[in-house]
Amino acid sequence: MTVTKNLLSASGGKPRILTGDRPTGPLHLGHFVGTLQNRVKLQDKYDCFFIIADLHTLTTAPGKDKTSTLNDRARGLVLDYLSVGIDPAKSVIYQQSQVPEVTYLSLIFTNLITVARAQRVPTLKEVMHDLHIQKPSLGLLNYPVLQSADILMFKADLVPVGKDQQSHVEVTREIAKTFNKTYSQVFPIPKALIGDVPTLVGTDGQAKMSKSIGNCIYLSDDATTVTKKVMSMYTDPKRLRATDPGTVEGNPVFIYHDVFNPNKAEIADLKTRYQAGQVGDVEVKQKLALALNKFLDPIRVRRAKYEKNTALLDKIIASGSKIARLQAQKTLVQVLSAMGLN
C-alpha cells in the first residue's frame, strides 16, 4: 500500500506514527498482516511511537488477577515486536500507564464527543459479543476516546491499524477537528493505514483471527504447533472426498497460501487440482504448514535471541516510556494553553 510521503510531522521533521497493541496475550498472524508488517516497513521513514496499551485492557479485564500480570505481558509484547523486526533504536516502544498525561488529555476529549457518537463505534458491539459482556463499563464505551488521546498526544500523522480499528481512527480525526475549531490548531488530522490483508480469517473459518476466540496461529508458535493447527483448519465443508471438486474462493487454507506462501506456481497448481478433485486436503495443508513455518523461522530466530533477556526488555520499556512522557508533557502544555487553562 502506498503512503503519502509529503506529510509534515508535528515535530517539524519526519512524519510521525502512533500505533500499538493491548498486552492481552501473544500476537498472531492476523496482527502481522494487519499492522506489524507496515510498522517494520515504515520505521526508517517515520518517527514511530509504539504503545503497549495496558490501560486499555482494564476496559474488559479489570480484575486483579489480570492487572497483576500486565507487566509480564508487556514484556511478551515487546518480545513479539522485536521478533518481527521492530528496532527500539529506531522506534519508541512505551507503556501507556507510564505516561499518565494521556489520561488527562482523554478526560478533556470526553467533553468533545457525545455518548451517541461513541456508541456508534462498531467494535464496541463486537467486543461485547466476543467476550460475552452483558453490561459494558463506562471505560469500554470510552475506549476510542482514550485511544484518541494516545494518538493525538504524540501528534501522529499516520496510524497503522487493522481494519477493525479504522472506526477508532475516525473518532480521533473528529476529536482533533473539534478541538482545533473550538480552541486553536494544536493537532494534525491523522490518517489510518490499513494492512495489505485488512482482515485475516481464523483457522476455524468462521471469524477473523482473534485471541478472544482462540482461532489463531501465533507468531510464537513452534513448528509442531503450527503444523497441528494447519492440519485441523477449516476448509470446504461440502467436499467429502479428495476426488470431489473443491471451492478455492473463501477457503481459509488457500487464503493463507495466497498471503504466506511465496511459491505462486505451487499455489496455482494446488488450486487447479483442488477445483478438479485431483488433490486432497492433506497435501494442501501440508504444503501450507511448510510455507508458514518457513515464514515464521526468521521470527523464531530473532525471538530466541531476546526471550531470556528480561533486563533488556525492561530497559526498552523504561527508556521508551521516558521519551514518550516528555513528548506527552509538551503536548499537554500546548493543549492547556490553547484552552486558556495554563
Least confident of 91-105, 198-212, 273-287, 296-310: 198-212
Rounded Cα gap, residues 4 and 322, in angstroms: 30
Q: Does position 177 have pLDDT exceeding 60, yes or no?
A: yes
Give the containing element (helix H, strand E) for 82: helix 70-84
Give the containing element (helix H, strand E) for 19: strand 16-21
Helices (H), 100-154: 101-110, 115-119, 122-130, 138-141, 143-153
Residue 21 lies in a domain: yes
Q: Are residues 29 and 78 in the same domain?
A: yes
Based on its alpha-carbon atoms, the radius of gyration of the chain, rounded to whole angstroms, reads 22
Task: Give mean pLDDT, residues 271-278.
Answer: 96
Q: Are residues 272 and 333 in the same domain?
A: no
Rounded Cα gap, residues 49 and 150, in angstroms: 10
Q: How many CA atoms lie within 13 A of 325 on its CB side?
A: 12
* Whole-structure pTM value: 0.90
Output the nine-digit C-alpha cell for 130. Answer: 466476543
Query: Residue 25 belongs to what domain range?
Result: 16-200+309-339
Q: Are residues 184 and 260 in the same domain?
A: no
Residue 172 lies in a domain: yes
Can you name the residues that pair with 194 across neighbouring β-strands? 161
Residue 3 lies in a domain: no
Beta strands per DSSP E along 89-136: 91-95
Residue 320 lies in a domain: yes
What contacts 199, CB < 8 A, 6 or more positions away? 30, 34, 162, 163, 164, 208
Output DSSP code: residue 203.
Answer: T
pLDDT digits (tens, 9 = 90+) for 95-141: 999 999 999 999 999 999 999 999 899 888 888 877 888 888 899 98
Q: Are residues 196 and 240 in the same domain?
A: no
Number of folded domains that form the chain: 2
Give the containing element (helix H, strand E) for 47: strand 47-52
Residue 118 lies in a domain: yes
pLDDT digits (tens, 9 = 90+) for 253-274: 999 999 999 999 999 999 999 9
Yes or no: say if 27 and 159 are a contact pair by the CB < 8 Å rule: no
CA nearest 111: which of 164, 178, 197, 39? Answer: 178
Angle value at C-alpha 136, between 148 and 146, nearest 5 degrees: 10
Residue 10 lies in a domain: no
Residue 259 lies in a domain: yes
What is the share, in percent, of the chain residues with pLDDT greater than 90? 80
Amino acid 11: pLDDT: 47
Q: Are residues 292 and 159 in the same domain?
A: no
Confidence of residue 25 (pLDDT cuts 50, 70, 90): very high
Helix/strand/coil for 160: strand
Q: In which order are the strands placed within the sheet that holds 16-21? A: 91-95, 47-52, 16-21, 158-161, 191-194
Q: Are residues 164 and 46 in the same domain?
A: yes
Q: What are phi and psi of 93, to 5 degrees?
A: -105, 120
